[in-house]
Chains A and B, each alone.
Chain A
Amino acid sequence: EAQVTQNPRYLITVTGKKLTVTCSQNMNHEYMSWYRQDPGLGLRQIYYSMNVEVTDKGDVPEGYKVSRKEKRNFPLILESPSPNQTSLYFCASSAYGDQPQHFGDGTRLSIL
């Protein structure tokens, strides 16, 4: 089954404790992206990747890091999480940048 898999689905953690949210797709897609979604603010792009070893900042990259060492994986790293990063996070992928994006089920992060 074609899918985008995110882990964990839910995480409650504390300020400053490094965390990684994994994202993996099995569709051989070149394009991958991370979004956060907050009430009233819609989807905001954090980072995206056009292909292996190619990443670029989205609209809200501060406080986040990404890497794309393999085509299928695009982890999101919060080196020193803060409460303002409490949000619902989505990973998405598409065959190419201008194609429809397929979303993972989401990760709800709470930073205390």
Chain B
Amino acid sequence: QKEVEQNSGPLSVPEGAIASLNCTYSDRGSQSFFWYRQYSGKSPELIMSIYSNGDKEDGRFTAQLNKASQYVSLLIRDSQPSDSATYLCAAFPSDSNYQLIWGAGTKLIIKP
């Protein structure tokens, strides 16, 4: 059973600090990874995609991928109250059935 695991939280972070969200995956052959942000009752919104080992930065967001350890993380710098949401991690598996494997999400709360 291929899985993506996330701590459900809530993760509480003071405004202005760095929020660190982590995700582990079971399929060693997974090649594509995605972070989505979802506000309550709204649809998931793509934040970052990452395909190779290392860091990928986009504004205040940095995605980190470590395939050897099978984890992917999302760092949010200078956290703002508007970053409060649930963050979903997803991995594209190595087989060809084209089904993304989704984590259950981590709820992030940014405290003013």
Residues of A within 8 A of B (CB): 31, 40-43, 45, 48, 50, 56, 58-59, 88, 90, 97-98, 100-106
Residues of B within 8 A of A (CB): 31-32, 34, 41-46, 49, 88, 92, 97-100, 102-105
Known: A42-B105, A98-B92. A50 touches B98 (CB 8 A): yes
Number of inter-chain CB pairs below 8 Å: 43
What are 11 pairs between A and B in contact, CB < 8 Å? A42-B105, A43-B44, A45-B100, A50-B98, A88-B41, A90-B44, A98-B31, A98-B32, A100-B49, A102-B46, A106-B41
- Residue in B31, B43, B46 whose beta carbon sits within 8 Å of that of A100 in the complex: B46
Q: Assess the A48–B98 pair: CB atoms within 8 A.
A: yes
B105: chain A residues within 8 A (beta carbon): 42
Q: Assess the A103–B98 pair: CB atoms within 8 A.
A: no
- Residue in B43, B88, B97, B100 whose beta carbon sits within 8 Å of that of A105 in the complex: B43
Q: In the complex, A97→B90 CA distance in Å?
A: 13
Q: In the complex, A80→B102 CA distance in Å?
A: 28
Q: In the complex, A31→B96 CA distance in Å?
A: 13
Q: In the complex, A88→B105 CA distance in Å?
A: 16
- Residue in A31, A59, A100 whose beta carbon sits within 8 Å of that of B98 in the complex: A31
A87 to chain B, nearest CB (A): 13
A42: chain B residues within 8 A (beta carbon): 88, 102-105
In the complex formed, the residue of A with least CB distance to B35 is A100
A92 to chain B, nearest CB (A): 8
In the complex formed, the residue of A with least CB distance to B6 is A42
Q: Assess the A97–B42 pair: CB atoms within 8 A.
A: no
Kindly list 10 other residue pairs between chains A and B, CB separation below 8 angstroms, not including A43-B44, A98-B31, A101-B100.
A41-B104, A42-B102, A43-B102, A45-B100, A48-B99, A90-B43, A101-B34, A101-B46, A103-B43, A105-B42
Interface centre among B49, B98, B102, by most chain A C-beta atoms within 10 angstroms, is: B98
A65 to chain B, nearest CB (A): 18
Q: In the complex, A78→B53 CA distance in Å?
A: 42
A43: chain B residues within 8 A (beta carbon): 44, 88, 102
Q: Assess the A104–B92 pair: CB atoms within 8 A.
A: no
